[in-house]
Amino acid sequence: MEEDEDLIPKKLVRRMRHCAKAREDSTRLLSMRFLQRDIVKSSLNRETENNALALALNRRLSEDRWAKKLAKSPYNCDQLAQAEKALEENKILDLIKSRKKTIEKNRKADAETKIIQHGLSERDELAILREQKRSLLNKEKELRAIRDIGKTAARTAKVEADNRNRLLERQQKILQQRLRSDDLYVPEYTGFVQ
C-alpha cells in the first residue's frame, strides 16, 4: 500500500501536470482564437467603416449631382416672395418716374417764364451788340486813318529830307565850283534852305 501511496502522488502529480499542460494548451488555443477573432473583428470593423464612408461619399456626390441638375429650377425659390418684391420695386420705380416728370415739367415751366421775363425786362442784347460792333468798326477806321496819316507824314518828311539833301548838295557843288574859279560873287539864290 505504501507503493500505492507513492504511486498516488506520482499519478496525481502526473495528472496535474497533464491537466496543467492541457490547460496551458487550451489557454494558448483560446488566446490564439481570441487573437484571430480580434483580427477578424477589426478587419470587419474597418470594412464596415470603409463601406459607410463610401456610402456617405456616394450619397454626397449624388446630392451634388442632383443639386446641379436642379439649380436652375424655378421651384427652388419662393416665387410668391419674388413676385411681390418685383411688384413693390415696380411701384417704387413708377413713383420715382412720375416725380421726375413733375419736377422736369416744373423746371421747364420755370425756365419758360424766366425767358419771357428776361425778354420783357431787359433791353435787346442783340441791338447792344450791333451798336458795340459799329462803334468798334468806327474806332478801327479812325485808327487806320491815323496810321495812314502817320505813314504819309513819314513819307512826306522823307521826301522833303531827300529834297533838302539834294538841294544842299547842289548848293555845295555850286559853291565849290565858284570857289575854284575864284569868283567871289554869289548871286542871290532863292532856293536856299534856311
**Average pLDDT of the segment spanning 72-98:** 88
Residue 60 clears pLDDT 90, i.e. is over it: yes
The mean pLDDT value of the chain amounts to 85
Q: Residue 79: its pLDDT value, please? A: 80
Position 71 confidence tier, pLDDT thresholds 50, 70, 90: confident
- Answering whether pTM is above 0.75, one says no
Position 167 confidence tier, pLDDT thresholds 50, 70, 90: very high
Position 191 confidence tier, pLDDT thresholds 50, 70, 90: low
Q: List the domain boundaries for the chain.
A: 1-70, 141-194
**Average pLDDT of the segment spanning 40-60:** 94
In sequence order, which residues have a C-beta less than 8 Å from that of residue 185 and are 6 or more positions away?
178
Q: Provide the residue type at 177 as one letter.
A: Q
Number of H helices and E strands in the chain, helices first, is 3, 0
Residue 192 clears pLDDT 90, i.e. is over it: no
Cell of 151: 505813314
